[in-house]
Structure 1
């Protein structure tokens, strides 16, 4: 099982939306997918409603508990399961650093049952983000290209460096930085994107995901944007998102 964390220390950049679409794309490619929602806001969990009978299964805060080994993720269907966010996550960032390695060890127990694990991370530096990166084989960074959002990229790059060099996870690979929610009509944003490419070079993925209404509507309907396309704008969004997801999944399949 490969583990991919979707991470940025800034909020509102589209982490959950990207995680959802990666899950759908991976499933359509025939992979068995495990989702982990480390963000107490629970956007990823909301995107995949509980099956009949209500919520049951391993909750995200329990990944930090050494006694949680008897619990299993909640099954959504034969090829998709989820570890949902819960209120217990609120106390995790107050925990000692010794718990950072526990989620990785816990998730590896399910390696035979899944091909890919996707972790949606919280938008702040803390134990949960560090633990997500310590558990992952790969990390991808969605970014918006505003001034404040770009300032957070350097912070995350530094966090990844810390995880790699201080013994938490030397195998962690950065898939790249994915520009999202861009506005092609804005000269300032086009300049900011070019500046981002100049600064980080090949770390910036070639795919770009502009802000598009069909994406928001698709998430509201709990389905990927490439399902049920209607109109040129919707089709364009579908093609962009499909290309980005396939690119990311292709990079971690090598």
Structure 2
């Protein structure tokens, strides 16, 4: 059996000429719709997110890749899959138009600026964050699609997207459509996949002390030095990856998990 579980409570209304829109959020703060795979022929599953503190449903392998990148990105503070249901009541139309965005990010404003300038999501998400780099967070809505999507020629769907973008603009949300070829690069995908394997590795205050002790001067330190301080070999690297995933340090993921990669210490609460 295929089941879409919806858990909706809070509502935000937005009005414009000829259209009334409302955004409905889940009462538990999680996804508004959780997909349970039954008769579906496409791949679906769940992704355990360290940033959201819960599992997130994915409906395509490309979505799962985007989830991995969001969980690994130092520029993204929090994210949700299926974050809300957008209902748009259009004058002259009976039933409302429904739109479920794929992802919502709470991210640094610089990430949105990079995407607006045409940078790929892979590169923008993989950028490191330096110590003391204070930025406001903004809400970013993502629609994730393969390069060829069956809805591309659907005029009704495209019009629904136009209306949804306008609602988000009025709310102050940024909206981006991500396609595989432009926004997801193989090198970053592989780096983030390796990092995600280690994000649940146990770390404690002593690991944080060992890492922080290497930052006796301002600026970044090299990956190999921090991994060695944490235990060297696979064990030390896994600890470093976990510290990145907890927001204690920020690795330049565009360079990769290499010995000469720069790593920054972040001003975060210990153990986060």
Structure 1 length normalisation: TM-score?
0.28
Q: Name the structure with the higher helix share.
A: 1
Larger relative strand fraction:
2
Structure with more relative contact order (C-alpha pairs < 8 Å, separation 6 or more): 1
